[in-house]
Structure 1
Amino acid sequence: MSKRKVYYQEPYKQTITTKLVLQAQDEIGRFYVVLEETIFYPTGGGQPHDTGTINGVHVYEVEEIDGEIRHYVEQPIEIHNKIVGEIDWDRRFDHMQQHSGQHILSAAFEEVYGYKTVSFHLGKELCTIDLEIKNLNEEEANRTEALANKIILENRSIETKWITEAELSHYSLRKELSVSENIRLVIIPNFDYNGCGGTHPNSTGQVSVIKILNWEKHKNYIRLYFVCGNRVLKQLHEKQSVIQRLTSILNSPQGQMKDAANRLIQQSKDLEKTVVELKTELLQYEARSHIANIQIIQDQKVVQAIFKNRLISELQQLARSITSLTNDVLVLLISENEDKLQLVCSKSKEVNGNMNQLLKGVLPVINGRGGGNDSFAQGGGERTISAEQLMRELMEKSM
């Protein structure tokens, strides 16, 4: 292990005074510095990088490239006799809590049910593990979470140890290692032995608490979402705020909120049904009104109407209502909606003509699209001409 990686030796160290080894730009022009020693953890092992400052300049990313730890900075740093680095401790400790919590939770799933963890993601808000199983039920999640929090409350030590490949046989590892040298174990005695390159607190108690939030099927695994430590408090605060607002909106205490919400949803469904029924009745009245004012053009009964901002679904329903109430009528309806024109062509069974052909005959005029069959067609396009002009085009092609 390189002595330059102080974050391994002293994960609680928040500031460091060291020497500058290199200041340069990478191949895409980003400024970075290399230090003789560093407390900045680089991205790796499932854990995001640290951020902070070096001589007051913001460090926004840290990567290890070919054994060189690069601290990417917003601008070149001023070089003094000493270089002072400071990490964002809240971010570092959050990562320590989440990473150690994942070790505990994964070990608990394996301890109780033999469920293995195949991947881990430490996100900005939530953490996930993918379990090598097809299904997970609430009892299994609750029992595992209870064991994980028991391990936390026992405040067991979390130890780190560098070993050789030859020494691996002395430890019962939870999963196979991806390296054969510079092997670092993170150990919770008598519970979890795991190869890991991340930073961790020195006891399980500092993880504080683990809370499983939910899970879902993801490919061939179960993806489980959870949070640890201070993130649990944040989740609790956010959910409590939502509950308080809903309590006021639903005018119901928390214990009765589910029933109140279900009643509200049912009322909404009932109202939607009533609105649909009333709209249908209104369209029937409207259809009869149009039939009462049918025009006779070249011995053909015609209903033609132009609307403003009418839904195409309403035009469809209105046209069908009219043709269902009379056997010998041609119905041409157009709606002008901002920069669009929409139209419906329909006919009763005793009327000659093909509505799909009629529609296709006028669509090029409005750069439109649409289709249908002999008795009913619909479409729409750009308002390249007025609705009145489009109606004239329809009438000319239908006669």
Structure 2
Amino acid sequence: MTEQLYETNPYQKNFTATVLSCKPCSGNHWNVVLDRTAFYPEGGGQPGDIGTLNDITVTDTQIKNGIILHTTTEPLDPGTQVTGCIDWDYRFDLMQNHSGEHIVSGIIHADTQANNVGFHMGKDVITIDFDLPLSPEKLPEYERLANQAVWDNLATEITCPDAATLQTLDYRSKKELTGKVRIVTFPGYDTCACCGLHVLHTGEIGLIQLLSIQKHKSGSRIEMLCGQRAWEYCHAVRTQNHAISVALSAKPLETAAAVQRLKQENNALAARISALETAAFEKKAAELQNAGNVVLFEEGLEPFSVRKLAVAVMETCGGWCAVFSGSDETGYKYAVGQLDGDTRNIVRAMNQALHGRGGGKPFLAQGSVQASRAEIEAFFAGLSDG
């Protein structure tokens, strides 16, 4: 049995130990068993520690059948004395986020009786799954209460009560527990059965940010960040908001209003452009009254406008209408249509000849081709000759 140093001192970064065994595992790695370790194995929602053993990289720590396995990139001989060093930045980040998760889960459980039924500490965000729908409007209040726990700098309490005492405790747990139960308490906020590692005082969490509440299965999922992750998120948001502030000549706390005004102006301009475009397309359609089959090239049209022009002209020209917009370098978007007609054979042949893709209904198809204007014109000239 490996002595678990992290249980008595989760802040221990270095230690010495003896290698008990070393066996190869997948990916040209080895599983090393020590007589004592400060490396925490994955459990309680917290990933396993990483670090080094005698400067050999430890990429993961797991526990299987009660045996703690340190996955290393090189083998170590049994009987060897090693110096272990955990990656403290990685560990402390997990401790901060794990502790913050307890506080948030406790606050939400007290408010709604929702149970934490899933917890994942990802590389980017922390997610907590609850078994009841939660209101997004409550998110700011939950965040404020969680940070109040941080500001109170409460001492974390960890106990292993006997069976009789355990029966008297009101604590959270995802499943029925037997035997030795480790209880983690953040006074006034949460009491939970947990085998993970936590900060000694809530002030060490630093900051708790609740990013979102989303519907998840029949309940809800919260995305959150704590500690340095939360600070980095706030810094990134502040940096982006500063750039927006400068671009819009708006004060940092007025960027949302400035963006809303810009959006309204853009919508008004888009509506005016659409009206002008409609008028121009109607004029073009009138000019091509009874012109028969028509091939048009127009610059700078979006796919919707390509379709819009094709529809306008095909209703007047008396044949099929093919509209293209793009360039020889990037290719051309197209729309091909014929009023009460069937353009499928034309579109199929065009896609094959001009490296195109697309389709639609018999009377109107859209897509794109990777060909030059000259090649497109030659294709349709061939149709006319036929």
TM-score, normalization by structure 2: 0.84
> 1:54-77 CA distances to partner (integer Å, 9 max, x unpaired)?
101111111112222111122234
Which residue, out of 232, 235, 243, partners 2:233?
Answer: 235
| Partner Cα distance (1:183, 1:261) in 2 | 53
State the match for 2:70 in structure 1: 71
Measured in 1, the distance between the counterparts of 2:189 and 2:358 equals: 66
- 2:41 aligned counterpart, secondary structure: coil
Q: How many residues align?
A: 378
Distance 1:312 1:359 in 2: 19
2:383 paired with 1:391: no
Provide the residue aligned with 2:128 in structure 1. Answer: 129
How many angstroms apart in 2 are the aligned matches of 1:290 and 1:169? 87
1:202 correspondence with 2:200: yes
Greater Cα shift, 169-178 or 67-76: 169-178
Say if 1:25 and 1:269 are closer, same or farther in 2 by CA, change over 3 A.
Answer: same
Where do residues 108-119 of structure 1 align in structure 2 (5 Å cutoff)?
108-119=107-118
> How many Å apart are 1:88 and its aligned residue?
1.0
Match of 1:378 among 365, 370, 380: 365
Which residue of 2 is the match for residue 322 of structure 1? 313
CA distance in 2, matches of 1:177, 1:345: 63
Checking the alignment, whether the CA contact within 8 Å between 1:33 and 1:70 is kept in structure 2 is yes
In structure 2, the CA distance between the partners of 1:372 and 1:244, relative to structure 1 (3 Å rule), is closer
Whole-angstrom distance in 1 between the partners of 2:367 and 2:205: 60
Q: What RMSD in Å do the two structures reach over aligned CA positions? A: 3.3
For residue 46 of structure 1, report the CA deviation from its aligned partner.
0.3
Query: Which residue does the alignment assign to 2:20?
Result: 21
Write the distance in 1 (CA, Å) between the matches of 2:92 and 2:109. 26
> Percent of counterpart pairs with the same letter?
26
What secondary structure sits across from 1:105 in the alignment?
Answer: helix
Give the letter aligned to residue 150 of structure 1.
Answer: Q
Query: Aligned partners of 1:146 and 1:131: how far apart in 2?
Result: 19
Do residues 344 (structure 1) and 329 (structure 2) align? no
Counterpart residue identity of residue 321, structure 1: A
SS of 1:246's partner is helix
1:389 is displaced (CA, Å) by 4.9
Which one-letter code corresponds to 2:309 in the other structure?
L
Give the deviation of 1:166 after TM superposition.
5.1
| Residue number in structure 2 paired with 1:298 | none
Letter in 1 for 2:18: K
Structure of higher CA gyration radius? 1
Match in the other structure for 2:88: 89
Task: Work out which of the residue numbers 208, 211, 214 in structure 1 matches 2:209.
Answer: 211
Could you tell me how far 1:260 is from its partner in structure 2?
Answer: 0.9
Aligned to 1:297: none
Contact 2:309-2:323 within 8 A present in 1 as well: no
Structure 1 residues 368, 211: CA separation in 2 closer, same or farther (over 3 Å shift)? closer
**What letter corresponds to residue 260 of structure 2 in structure 1?**
N
8 Å Cα contact 2:303/2:334 also seen in 1: yes
- Can you give the 5+ residue segments of structure 1 that lack an aligned partner in the other structure? 295-300
Distance of 1:84 and 1:272 partners within structure 2:
67
Distance 1:346 1:312, change over 3 A: farther
**Conservation of the 8 A alpha-carbon contact between 2:336 and 2:343:** no
Separation of aligned partners in 1, 2:307 and 2:174:
64
Q: Is the 8 A contact 2:207 2:231 kept in 1?
A: no
- The change in CA–CA distance for 1:166 and 1:257 in structure 2 (over 3 A counts) is same
What is the aligned partner in structure 1 of residue 58 from structure 2? 59
- Contact kept in structure 2, 1:341 and 1:383, CA below 8 Å: no
Moved more, 256-265 or 199-208: 199-208
Deviation of the 1:159 alpha carbon:
2.3
The 5-angstrom pairing of residues 120-159 of structure 1 reads: 120-138=119-137, 140-159=138-157
Aligned letter for 2:262?
A: L
C-alpha separation in 1, matches of 2:245 and 2:101: 34
Structure 1 residues 364 and 221: alpha-carbon distance in aligned structure 2, compared to 1, 3 A threshold? closer
CA distance in 1, matches of 2:7, 2:177: 17
* Counterparts of 2:308 and 2:188, CA distance in 1: 71
Secondary structure, counterpart of 2:38 in structure 1: coil
Structure 2: how far apart are the matches of 1:229 and 1:364? 55
How far residue 378 of structure 1 moved from its aligned partner, in angstroms, is 2.7
Contact preservation (8 Å) 1:306, 1:387: no
Residue 153 (structure 1) shift: 3.2
Shift of 1:257: 1.8
8 Å CA contact 2:347, 2:365 repeated in 1 = no
Paired residues for 1:143-292 under 5 Å: 143-165=141-163, 167-175=165-173, 177-189=175-187, 191-291=189-289
Which residue is equivalent to 2:295?
305
Does the CA contact (< 8 Å) of 1:341 and 1:387 recur in 2?
A: no
Q: What are structure 2's unaligned runs of at least 5 residues?
A: none
Show CA shifts across 1:121-144 (max 9, x none): 222232222233223143x33443
Indicate conservation of the 8 Å contact 2:20/2:79, yes or no. no
> Which whole-Å CA distance do the structure 1 matches of 2:246 and 2:358 have between them?
48
Once residues 239 and 370 of structure 2 are traced to their aligned partners in structure 1, the CA distance between those partners, rounded to angstroms, is: 48
